[in-house]
A and B are shown apart, each in its own frame.
Chain A
Amino acid sequence: MSILGTRVLRTEDPRFLTTGGVYTEDVVDERLAGACHVTFVRSPVAHAKISEIDVSAALAAPGVVAVITGADLADLPTIEPAMAGLINGKMRQRLLATDTVRHVGEAVAAVVTESAYQGEDAIELVQVDYDLLPAVVDMTAAAADEVVLHADAGTNTAADFGSPDSLKADLFDGCEVVVSQTIVNQRVAPAPMETRAAAAVWGDDGRLTAWVPNQGAQGTRGSLAKLLALEEAQIRVITPDVGGAFGAKFGADPEHAVVAWIARYLGRPARWTETRYENLISMTHGRAQRQQVTIGGSKDGTVQAYRLEVLQDAGAYPRIGAILPFLTILMTPGPYAFPRAEAIAKTVVTNTTPVGAYRGAGRPEATAAVERAIDLFAAAAGVDPAQVRRKNLLPTFTEPHQTAFGALYDSGDYVAALDKALAAAGYDELRTEQQRRRASGDVRQIGIGLASYVEITGAGDEAGAPNENASVEVHPDGTATILTGTSPHGQGHATAWAMIASDELGIPVEKITLKWGDTDLIPEGGGTGGSRSLQLGGAAVQQASKELLDVARQRAADQLEANPADLVFDVGRSAFAVAGDPDASVPLAALAEGERLLVRTVFAAAGATFPFGTHVAVAEVDTETGKVVLRRMVTVDDAGVVLNPLLAEGQRHGGIAQGAAQAFLEEVLYDADGNPLTTSFADYPILSATEMPSFELADMATPTSYNPLGAKGIGEAGTIGSTPAVQNAVIDAVAYLGVRHIDMPTTPRRVWQAIRDAAHDGSEHG
């Protein structure tokens, strides 16, 4: 029986559970002996001219080796925005700010000390004089260009995706019901448990070796090369264990480059680990959109037209977040068959932390918008939201479906996913219970929230083209080694890729070693992000294993003096045998004696895949205090054929939790002057175990034909579905009181306020 589809336990776990992972800060390597420590001095103000930096007191402090400022790095290029073609190229950044700081947390100097504790003391002694400038925190204010952050650019608009002039005045003509709503998709912090870090050393050969927590060593090498004006061949990036990333550890940040620069400048290895405070103010944030949705249709619940207008906050310097509205627009209609739909977006810079990718990256924002719109429309039309979804979902398709926004959905059965989720949740019983509580005037009301979604995975937008390489080598001792261009940081590739190779080669999983994240060993690779790994990297491992068997078959034929076509590969014995003569056989491992038995291949997919599903959230809302308790999360997440249910469920759990946390808990906050208010885990309401229920997962698997595994991505689906499901549930709980919408996070204060406002409106109009 094939091992594929079974719950194989992770082979990587015993190490993590005992000695613990070896994260960048844990790396012990003789090349790093005697490393100095780097601590960054960061701007305490959101927008200012730097008039003077005085490092003399810091230089005199115990253990201080050097203090580096932007002036020292003057010969390095300024940092281009991500996707320079799409973004205003004049919005540039320096590795260390020289004349202007544009957000609290921007690095202005680096103190180098013998020990980490000395660094914390010495940064206090660096004197920076700031001449304050007005801070622009709100996106609408930024778009008005009254204060411009990047004088060269002459505007705060980093990019426009379509023009307001293109919107059709008659889009909603003929609609019996039209609803509009402004929706805030708030800024959140990725907050991986491991913060950012780096270790760097230069060899006598003039090459840099850098250890960086990342999502793809090759991409990090590329970023470092750009930031340091080096050739990629001059850099070796090594990926230690990575303590979570969620989109925020792609490439390299300015700090990583500064640490590498310091190691060269001082001729001595350098290390850096940021504090959580630094992480929350200077690692990229996610989401940060303000959306305007308009939806119209007939009273029976049929949608005829939908419009989405997006304002994206890029933060102070345009990174990948600045172009994510592109993905939001791509996924505008979600799983629905809207006859008419249109979308535009604008990205602006503000005096806040730069915005990057965060689990889902552009797609959760599209889903949140359309799923709120569907509920708003259902409420206005007086039709049950499940019914509105069923009426408007695309019917089952097996041939790819082309959307008006340029996406090609590979396969889908959206109504089945909806029905399955409703059945698993007991939707009708939940509505009955809701009626009962409403009738009895219970203080604690329940709300049922739905979200049907489709998303795009393995697209290549975040992590290179839709292809991936793998090498598989069988050794004479019966073990095997796989090299992959993906970059696991919790996903369990060591186990999953071994399962795929084992299934082909008949070598037990525990005898297969996976290697990744060393650019000298694996020069190419797209890393792990955009839920791409299994459908591309896993497929590459399978393809390499099959090609390896082709090579081995020829060798076996030579040894057995048989025609290759007459040989059968017995997976159970991991041996080739002559058909009809099982005694005439040779083990696969024996064919690796003498000449290496090694194949490298590149798997290229026909295109991106489109996982889909439906989430049902049940929230209990205290109508006196506004407090929300998430009671149930029932989800159907169809990501095609599942390789290892244990791992797939883990991805769903983590995604569901992060998405739900955005809906009712988490938000990065700034005051009007651009001071961050959520700078520790005491202030940023990061999700804890007490705030989640156990999840109820229902399975569904619609294969894709775009890879031989039949797999789609599962890393982000949970996040995409759960955010609007939970938000819709909270609003549904209090809808009978006249509440139409509550922005995320649905904190007790917001919910309480919404109930109060609705009562007030009701009494005015009633």
Chain B
Amino acid sequence: MRVELTVNGEHRSAEVEPRLLLVHFLRERCGLRAANVGCDTTSCGACTVLLDGKSVKSCTVLTVQAAGQQVTTAEGLGEPGNLHPVQAAFQREHGLQCGFCTPGMVMATVGLLAENPNPTEEQVREGLEGNLCRCTGYHNIVRAVLAAAGSAGQAAPAAAEVSA
């Protein structure tokens, strides 16, 4: 099947198998390997990306379902020398160790802050319940999300920006 979609601002047109998962399309066809696969049951969130600005688990979305939509991955959010405020907060607060959950965690955070720019700690923990991290004990991830929310409300506009 032919599918047309926008990935990190770039228009893509591709012939895909109907069963091709979005995460595999991104990783294998677009060479965007930040999103990872960590489970078979939609439990871990390592594959989280934004679809029209909302965070989704890309292991549960068929590529054809994303047709006509805007996909944003961690690669599209910022660059090593120019981190998005959420990415910068994760570095500042040491919110990552092995990094495997990180791109998904960052995208889930962007999605969370777009919906609730000033979450409480409890809301952050609930908002990230579907994103598993085996390394950090979540402590510094929560700090990073709260810090990103507090950084002059930058996170919400930035999220709007990338989904535009």
For the complex, is B100 an interface residue (Cβ under 8 Å from A)?
A: yes
Cβ-defined contact, B38 with A276, below 8 A: yes
CB distance from A323 to the nearest CB of B (A): 25
Contact of A244 among B100, B124, B128 (CB under 8 A): B100
| Chain B contacts for A17, CB-based, 8 A | 74, 78, 80, 83, 87, 90-91, 96, 99, 102-103, 106
Instruction: Report chain A residues within 8 Å CB of B126.
Output: 689-690
What is the size, in residues, of chain B's interface with A at 8 Å between Cβ atoms?
58
Q: Which of B31, B106, B142 contacts A689 (CB 8 A)?
A: B142
Q: Of A18, A191, A718, which one neighbours B134 at CB under 8 angstroms? A: A191
Q: Does chain B have a CB within 8 A of A346?
A: no
B42 to chain A, nearest CB (A): 8
Contacts of B99 in A (CB 8 A): 12, 16-17, 20-21, 241, 243, 490
Instruction: Kindly name the residue among A16, A244, A656 whose own CB sees the greatest number of chain B CB atoms within 10 A.
Output: A16
Cβ-neighbour of A492 out of B97, B102, B132, B139 (below 8 A): B97
Set of chain A residues within 8 Å of B121, measured between Cβ atoms? 694
In contact, A658 and B44 (Cβ under 8 angstroms): no
A695 interface residue, CB < 8 Å from B? yes
The 8 Å CB contact of A193, one of B31, B92, B132, B139, is B132
Segment of A97-105, A328-336, A645-653 in the binding face:
A645-653
Nearest Cβ on chain A to B44's Cβ, whole angstroms = 6
Stretch at the interface among A177-185, A611-619, A678-686: A678-686
B140 to chain A, nearest CB (A): 6
CA distance A194 to B103 in the complex (A): 13
Write the nearest CB–CB distance from A284 to chain B, whole angstroms: 15
User: Is A6 interfacial (CB-CB < 8 Å)?
Assistant: no
Does A161 belong to the interface (CB within 8 Å)? no
Cβ-defined partner of A654 (8 Å) among B35, B78, B136: B136
Given contacts A193-B101, A680-B41, contact A16 B33 (CB under 8 A): no
Q: Are A18 and B77 in contact (CB under 8 A)?
A: yes
Taking a contact as CB atoms under 8 Å apart, the answer to whether B75 and A243 are in contact is no
The answer, yes or no, to whether A19 is at the interface (CB within 8 Å) is yes
Q: Could you say which of B103, B133, B136, B139 contacts A20, with CB atoms under 8 Å apart?
A: B103
A277 interface residue per 8 A CB criterion:
yes
Let me know if A692 and B38 touch, CB within 8 A: no
**Complex: A413 Cα to B143 Cα, angstroms:** 32
B159 within 8 A of A: no
Across-interface contacts of B81 in A (CB, < 8 A): 14
Which chain B residues border A202 with CB–CB below 8 Å?
none
User: A275, B40: Cβ atoms under 8 Å?
Assistant: yes
- A242→B135 CA distance, assembly (Å): 12
Q: Would you call B41 and A21 a contact (CB within 8 A)?
A: no
Instruction: Offer 7 A-B interface pairs, CB within 8 angstroms, sorted by A.
Output: A193-B133, A241-B98, A241-B99, A244-B135, A276-B40, A682-B43, A686-B132
Contacts from B to A (Cβ < 8 Å) = 17, 19, 27, 31, 33-41, 43-44, 46, 74-75, 77-81, 83, 87, 90-92, 94, 96-103, 106, 121, 124-126, 128-143
